[in-house]
Amino acid sequence: MNVKDMIRSAEKELRERFQEFEEVAYQNQARVLNAFREFKIRELHFQPSSGYGYSDMGREALENIYARVFGSEDALVRPQIVSGTHAIYSCLKAFLKPGDQLVSATGRPYDTLANVISSGSPESLTGAGVDYCEMPLGQGGYPDVEALEGALRENTKMVFIQRSRGYQARPAVPLAMIESIVKKVKLYNRDIIIMVDNCYGEFTSLNEPVGLGVDIMAGSLIKNPGGGLAPNGGYVCGRSELVQKAAWQITAPGLGKELGSIPFDKRYIFMGLFMAPHVVLQSLKGAVLLAYLFEKQGFAVAPLWNDPRSDIVQSIRLKDAEQVRRFCQLVQRYSPIDSDAALEYGELPGYMDGVVMAAGTFIQGSSIELSCDAPLREPYCAFWQGGLTYEHCRYVCERLVEEFMLTS
Ligand SMILES: *Cc1c(COP(=O)(O)O)cnc(C)c1O
């Protein structure tokens, strides 16, 4: 069978899967649209603000929309948040004091966060006297909810859940499981703050963690909720009191959410959120097509094409670091930007191992645009995510079949 036929026949098999994703995107789109209507968004909300940014109507409306769409009391959505790591760190730093215990329910956190929590330096949370407990993953790579209960103590202040697989060989955490963690933890002590790293999870389901009893969640605007249009930034959503405390970390105690001008046109942050359900749909369709093609050819892929999804990441297990690099190189070659860049493993701030990253993206490092990356460690997997259009994903899949799969 030639490549084009392979892809057409894959798409026939994937019809129902695609329809499932389309239904989710449709309902999420309606929710986003109705939030825009509720807050009566107009051209004037896009205006840049200056100086302290007091009473920036556009910023306030944007945060109201985020809160409504994600089902939380309040939200902080700012270009001053430099990345997802910064958004999450601001929360951890805001709520954890020396002597408090932080429990990670999902094993080792994402590389840049593991660094923030327990790198050993005095600036890390453990260096500053926070107790830290990392629960090993249980059956099937899911959080071990029973064992988690046993780890809770009098000084447990916070339970941390990373929704997406990150660079791990484990599934994304389903929302139902997040809900059952919430129930167990709140039964033990309702004051324990439950936080979700929601990176890559937004709009993959009909609900978001804060809509299910999670106290606070955070993520990046150059991933799902920015829709590929937001030029930078991060968000925090959750209970008002907690969002305010996180804002104190980003500005200063006593200042908080009331300050922070956005001295550029906010149109693309709004428009990106409006587009996000659709762009996430494109990514999910692309990820499932890639999974299907490689799975049929005998590669170990995760998730499988028909597995439930709670993030947009698709991992493909490969033989060695060089194969991973070659795979990423092809994704780079068929990107709109920097298509001629030669990829190598390199050092990035916050990452402990070398990383190779295909990010031929309009917005630097944006991973809601089609991108593919991997840390230099076993098991050697390429992590594919994003895609502004399904057609781009499809084209790159075709190229990968021809130039990688059939020659490896
Ligand atoms: C991307 C990501 C982060 C944050 O990464 P930044 O590059 O700092 O935005 C955190 N956790 C997970 C699971 C991620 O995928």
pLDDT-based confidence at 352, cuts 50/70/90? confident
pLDDT-based confidence at 143, cuts 50/70/90? very high
What mean pLDDT value characterizes the chain? 96
- In the chain, what percentage of residues exceed pLDDT 90? 95
Q: Which tokens in the block code for residue 17?
A: 């899967």
Model pLDDT, residue 407: 81
Picking from 333, 321, 337, the residue whose alpha carbon sits closest to that of residue 374 is: 321
The preferred substitution site among 78, 91, 110 for testing ligand 1, maximizing ligand atoms within 8 Å of CB, is 110
Q: Which tokens in the block code for residue 323?
A: 């194969």
Q: What is the DSSP string of 237-255?
A: EE-HHHHHHHHHHHS-TTT
Q: What are phi and psi of 75, to 5 degrees?
A: -150, 155
How far, in whole angstroms, is CA 260 from its chain's centroid?
A: 24
pLDDT higher than 80, residue 259: yes
Q: Are 147 and 105 in contact (CB under 8 A)?
A: no
Q: Are 154 and 103 in contact (CB under 8 A)?
A: no
Residue range 15-34, pLDDT digits in tens = 999 999 999 999 999 999 99
Q: In 3-state terms, what secondary structure has residue 75?
A: strand
Q: Is the CB of 202 under 6 A from ligand 1?
A: no
pLDDT-based confidence at 120, cuts 50/70/90? confident
Model pLDDT, residue 334: 98
pLDDT higher than 80, residue 408: no
Q: Is the CB of 83 under 6 A from ligand 1?
A: yes
β-strand pairing of 216-220 with 193-197:
parallel
Residue range 300-309, pLDDT digits in tens = 999 999 999 9
C-alpha–C-alpha distance, residues 273 and 295, integer Å: 33
Q: Is the CB of 164 under 6 A from ligand 1?
A: yes
Bridge partner residues of 158 (DSSP)? 102, 193
> From ligand 1's centre to the CA of 110, what distance in Å?
7
Of ligand 1's listed atoms, the one at least distance from the Cα of 166 is 13
Q: Is the CB of 197 under 6 A from ligand 1?
A: yes
Q: Is the CB of 303 under 6 A from ligand 1?
A: no
pLDDT mean over 186-196: 97
Kindly report the number of other CB atoms within 10 A of residue 99's CB atom: 10
- In the chain, what percentage of residues exceed pLDDT 70? 100
Q: Whose CA is nearest to atom 14 of ligand 1?
A: 199
Q: Is the CB of 85 under 6 A from ligand 1?
A: yes
> From ligand 1's centre to the CA of 83, what distance in Å?
8
| pTM > 0.95 | yes
Q: Are 61 and 89 in contact (CB under 8 A)?
A: no
pLDDT-based confidence at 350, cuts 50/70/90? confident
The preferred substitution site among 91, 115, 197, 372 for testing ligand 1, maximizing ligand atoms within 8 Å of CB, is 197
Model pLDDT, residue 228: 98
